[in-house]
Structure 1
Amino acid sequence: MRALLDVILVVLQMYWWVVLAMIIMSWLISFNVINTRNNFVAAVWRILNQLTDPVLRPIRRYMPNFGGLDLSPLVLFLIIYLIQRVIMYYIYPNVF
């Protein structure tokens, strides 16, 4: 059971990095540092959006509109942090 919890923690940490990469890439695209007309950039952007949009879309639905500011990744970071802490402090010590 602890091995399963370790896998869940690793997956959550990897997803955290994917969301961070999506945030950084969206900034780079917004400030015209990288261009989505490049095939590699477009492919990476599409993959990151396909990985993060299913999770961020429900969060965006409940978030108020802040103009052009998207705070849904911040909420997702807090949710991931909460899940990791619950597993580490409450579930993991009580598993045989």
Structure 2
Amino acid sequence: MLANALDFLIRNLAEFFILVLLIRFYLQAGRVSFKHPVGQFVLALTNWIVLPVRRVVPPWRNLDTASLLLAWVCAFLMHLILLAITPWPFIFGSPLSIVALVLAAALELFKMSLYLLFAATIGQALMSWIAPYNPMMPVLEGITGPFLRPLRRMIPTVGGIDITPLILILIIQLLLGVVVASLEPYILQNVRIAT
């Protein structure tokens, strides 16, 4: 019972922090202003750790590599701790276990990025109908734009309606439901157990 509560707490806190770091990464990559309340919230939650790490890990082009690295480290530690609190005697020092944890952390970033893109796409689609001039629109467009623009070049509007958000949502669901759902348990099964 206690292990389940700890698992829930650790997973949710870690995933929240990973998500905030990824939002920071994608907002900077999309050149979205951090003057928006969402940007200010993200900076307030992450500056304490991103700014010191940025001195060691500088940005590459327009990408905030410090935020991305910290999100990966957080995902790595989350998986390490979650496996450590299980009753199974995992061998974390084996090369295969380390590789499995490295890949699990990378897959976690991919999964959380898909969740973020999914939420931003739905939010943008709804706001484009309800409140197209909402101050949140530039933030959402900064996240979804790099994915919707190529789709818009390939898929024409249908009856004057842009269906690319629907196509993007279907692609995200396919990736989450097939790729991530099958890879995640496979990767974690490769963490070695003492025999």
1:16 matched residue in structure 2:
118
Q: CA RMSD in A?
A: 1.7
2:174 counterpart of 1:82: yes
2:147 matched residue in structure 1:
55
CA displacement at 1:79 relative to structure 2: 1.0
Tell which has more relative contact order, 1 or 2 (C-alpha 8 A, sep 6+). Answer: 1
1:92 matched residue in structure 2:
184
TM-score, normalised with respect to structure 1: 0.75
1:19-30 matches, cutoff 5 A: 19-29=121-131
CA contact (8 A) 2:148 2:165 kept: yes
Structure 2 CA distance, aligned partners of 1:22 and 1:64?
Answer: 19
Structure 2 CA distance, aligned partners of 1:79 and 1:28?
Answer: 24
Which structure has the bigger radius of gyration?
2
Structure 1 CA distance, aligned partners of 2:109 and 2:142?
Answer: 22
Structure 1 CA distance, aligned partners of 2:180 and 2:141?
Answer: 27
CA displacement at 1:87 relative to structure 2: 1.9
How many percent identity over aligned positions?
Answer: 32
* Structure 2 runs not aligned, ≥5 long: 1-102, 191-195
TM-score, normalised with respect to structure 2: 0.40
CA displacement at 1:86 relative to structure 2: 1.1
Moved over 6 A (4+): none
CA displacement at 1:7 relative to structure 2: 2.5
SS of equivalent to 1:24: helix
Structure 2 CA distance, aligned partners of 1:92 and 1:19?
Answer: 24
